Amino acid sequence: MCLSLIGWFNLDSFINERKLLFFGRICNLPQRAISFRILVRRLFELQYFNQQNINCASDFSKDCVDLFYIHHLSDYLTKFMTSETFPSQRIWKRIVYRSIFEYELKEWQQRISIDNDLNIFQKIFKIFHPHPAWTVVLDFPYLRKQANYIVSLCCSVHNTNSDIILCDKCGKHFSDPCIQEISSCDYLSNIRDEFWCELLCIKPINFSAFLGSLADEEFCYLLLSGETEFDLNCEQKKLFKFLCVIRY
Ligand SMILES: [Zn+2]
């Protein structure tokens, strides 16, 4: 789950990607090349003999054949076995990157949708790409600490059995400390007012009205995600992301 916040795949996927690319490289070698001939022979052995009879504790060809099936690429393998034709290295790269990405995305979506603890994370982070806070840090490295804090807030497991807690600063009841601090606690209203002044500087007044109309919970998640679907231009989006990070 957390790797998605920096736009990384699992290590397994990275290794599988390398294996498939290397497989493609061998398939594109001239037919007289030894590696090519060994690979073709191994593929025929795997196809026509019982796999258990083949002595292969760790077998590159077998791993690759499994990967072709897992990533729905078996048509390319069948075509290679029947006619020895295979996509060129450039096209194969694109095919592998796309299929690995689709596979990882599906796995990631399944992982976060089956676990109740992650339902807040799901609301904050809908797309598999580096969290906007990290892209802000590329331009403003001194905000690294703040970015780190936001990302850790996104990953924190929230209390889902809704125990009500009393705030000792303002006397309000709350169930989610994150929402309480960001959008609700009266004790922090001065800081919140300053932040609103900064948000107003983004310019379109209807954007401020849109933010103002959000419920506490929605507003909190929007700030944590650092992204909005509201129609802002590129500069305004950048400023919004920056403000979301710097306020921590
Ligand atoms: Zn309070």
Going from the Cα of 214 to the center of ligand 1, the distance in angstroms, rounded, reads 19
Look up residue 216 and give its two tokens: 């506490």
Q: In the beta sheet, which residues pair with residue 166?
A: 173
Q: Are 58 and 70 in contact (CB under 8 A)?
A: no
pLDDT in tens, the chain (248 residues): 677 777 788 889 999 999 999 999 999 999 899 999 999 998 988 887 755 555 555 688 889 999 999 999 999 999 998 888 999 999 999 999 999 999 988 888 888 788 777 777 777 877 778 888 888 999 999 999 998 888 888 877 666 666 788 888 888 888 888 888 888 888 888 888 888 888 888 878 888 889 889 888 888 888 888 888 888 888 888 899 998 888 77
Which residues neighbour 211 within 8 Å (Cβ) at sequence distance 6 or greater?
Answer: 199, 219, 222
Q: Please tell me the pTM assigned to this model.
A: 0.68
Q: Are 181 and 174 in contact (CB under 8 A)?
A: no
Question: How far apart (Å, rounded) are the C-alpha atoms in residues 52 and 70?
Answer: 20
Going from the Cα of 215 to the center of ligand 1, the distance in angstroms, rounded, reads 17
Q: Are 67 and 19 in contact (CB under 8 A)?
A: yes
What does the pLDDT read at residue 193? Answer: 87
What does the pLDDT read at residue 159? Answer: 61
Going from the Cα of 2 to the center of ligand 1, the distance in angstroms, rounded, reads 30
Alpha-carbon dihedral 51, 97, 9, 142, rounded to 10 degrees: 160
Going from the Cα of 22 to the center of ligand 1, the distance in angstroms, rounded, reads 58
Question: How far apart (Å, rounded) are the C-alpha atoms in residues 130 and 155?
Answer: 14
Question: How far apart (Å, rounded) are the C-alpha atoms in residues 165 and 176?
Answer: 8
Q: How many H helices and E strands in the chain?
A: 13, 2
Nearest to 143, CA basis, from 239, 225, 248: 248
Protein residues near ligand 1, an ion, with CB under 5 A: 167, 169-170, 185, 187
Going from the Cα of 90 to the center of ligand 1, the distance in angstroms, rounded, reads 58
Long-range contacts (CB closer than 8 Å, 24 or more residues apart) made by 24-30: 24/86, 24/87, 24/89, 24/92, 24/93, 24/96, 25/89, 27/80, 27/86, 27/92, 28/86, 28/88, 28/89, 28/92
Going from the Cα of 170 to the center of ligand 1, the distance in angstroms, rounded, reads 4
What does the pLDDT read at residue 9? Answer: 83
Which residues neighbour 84 within 8 Å (Cβ) at sequence distance 6 or greater?
Answer: 31, 40
